[in-house]
Amino acid sequence: MTFRRSLLTACATAVAAMAFLPVAAQAQSMVLKAADVHPAGYPNVVAVENMGKKLDAATNGRLKIQTFPGGVLGGEKEMIEQTQFGAINILRTSLGPVGTVVPEVNVFNMPFVFRSQDHMRAVIDGAIGDELLAKISASPAKLVAIGWMDGGSRSLYTKKPVRTPADLKGQKVRMMGNPLFVDTMNAMGGNGISMGYGEVFTALQTGVVDGAENNAPSFFTSNHYSTGAKFYTQTNHLIIPELLVVSKVTWDKLSKDDQALLKKFGREAQLEQRALWDKSVEDYTAKLKAAGVEFINVDTKAFYDATAPVRAKYGANYADLMKRIEAVK
């Protein structure tokens, strides 16, 4: 009888102890909030939705992703702050705002640092891309970088045709919120204006700015072409990859196995988004032309030469890295 009581007591004690195991040691059930400024159906959003389906299947529904596209949770700056505090769990963001927090990524932000979109993809898929993801994750930014996404080639759209840097004189052009980008536009001949993405439509409508710059899909989905900005000058001055990050607050709550799943599916999302991106560029270019937008091909050498001081100023600390980027085939 004494033995039986001892056994029951031991079992009860073990069960009670299990109830107080650290949270990290137990399997987590979570619905991860994923945010993006781009609308539903955009390649980045679709890639993250597909990532969520894989995560759901791999964890038998224990981990799910709920997407919040269209900037419903704020602009990129606000969403980065929410991600740092864990209110947003997964975020697709441009490098512009991140460059002010993690200076190393500014090497990708510099004008004409990539020869072409294919060159950029070769860089982010290789050792340099992996190194920068690790730098972001190890930084005080409270973001864990799990993959890159293709942000396309950024070109000018204006209300007056631009064929040379001289044509930009006196034109106010919206740029992302990073001094590097404002300096880039100023060097190209225009007047760079830092402004949030959500403010651009009204600013174009009211004449606060005369133009902006972005890739073709964003130009169309933002409806900016309807404001009178009917000239799309293909300068391709910025070819900037974008980031897929997880909140460090969220990351630290996940098991090693769940972290590994997110990294795996993040890398797959990187490649899936690329295929979706290429198709969207083709489709949205056709839609813009049908809406009366004139695509202007230019000799980019004049713009490249004009921005040399920007590369010299912002690239001084990354001279070796820039040489490595240039050497990638």
SS3 content of the chain, % helix, strand, coil (to 5): 55, 20, 30
**Could you give the CA distance from residue 81 to residue 126 in angstroms, rounded to a whole number?**
29
Lowest mean pLDDT among 10-19, 118-127, 214-223, 246-255: 10-19
Report all structural domains of the chain as residue ranges with CATH numbers, in order of start. 28-150+240-281 (3.40.190.170), 153-239+284-327 (3.40.190.170)
**Could you give the CA distance from residue 268 to residue 270 in angstroms, rounded to a whole number?**
5
Residue 101: predicted pLDDT: 73
Higher per-residue confidence, 237 vs 106: 237
Q: How confident is the model at residue 310 (pLDDT cuts 50, 70, 90)?
A: very high
| Residue pLDDT, tens place only, 131-150 | 999 999 999 899 999 999 99
**Which residue has 């880039």 as its token pair?**
184
Residue 195: predicted pLDDT: 93
Q: Is 193 within 8 Å of 273 (Cβ atoms)? A: no
**Could you give the CA distance from residue 276 to residue 4 in angstroms, rounded to a whole number?**
65
- Three-class secondary structure of residue 126 per DSSP: coil
**Which residue has 């795996």 as its token pair?**
264
Strands (E), the chain: 30-35, 63-68, 90-93, 143-149, 153-158, 172-175, 191-194, 211-214, 231-239, 242-247, 294-297
DSSP H/E element including 278: helix 256-290
Residue 215 phi, psi dihedral angles, 5° rounding = -85, 165
- Three-class secondary structure of residue 115 per DSSP: coil
Residue 243: exposure state from Cβ atoms within 10 A (0-12, 13-18, ≥19)? buried
| Residue pLDDT, tens place only, 252-297 | 999 999 999 999 999 999 999 999 999 999 999 999 999 999 999 9
Residue 168: predicted pLDDT: 97
Residue 26: predicted pLDDT: 52
Residue 58: predicted pLDDT: 97
In DSSP terms, 239 is beta-bridged to 153
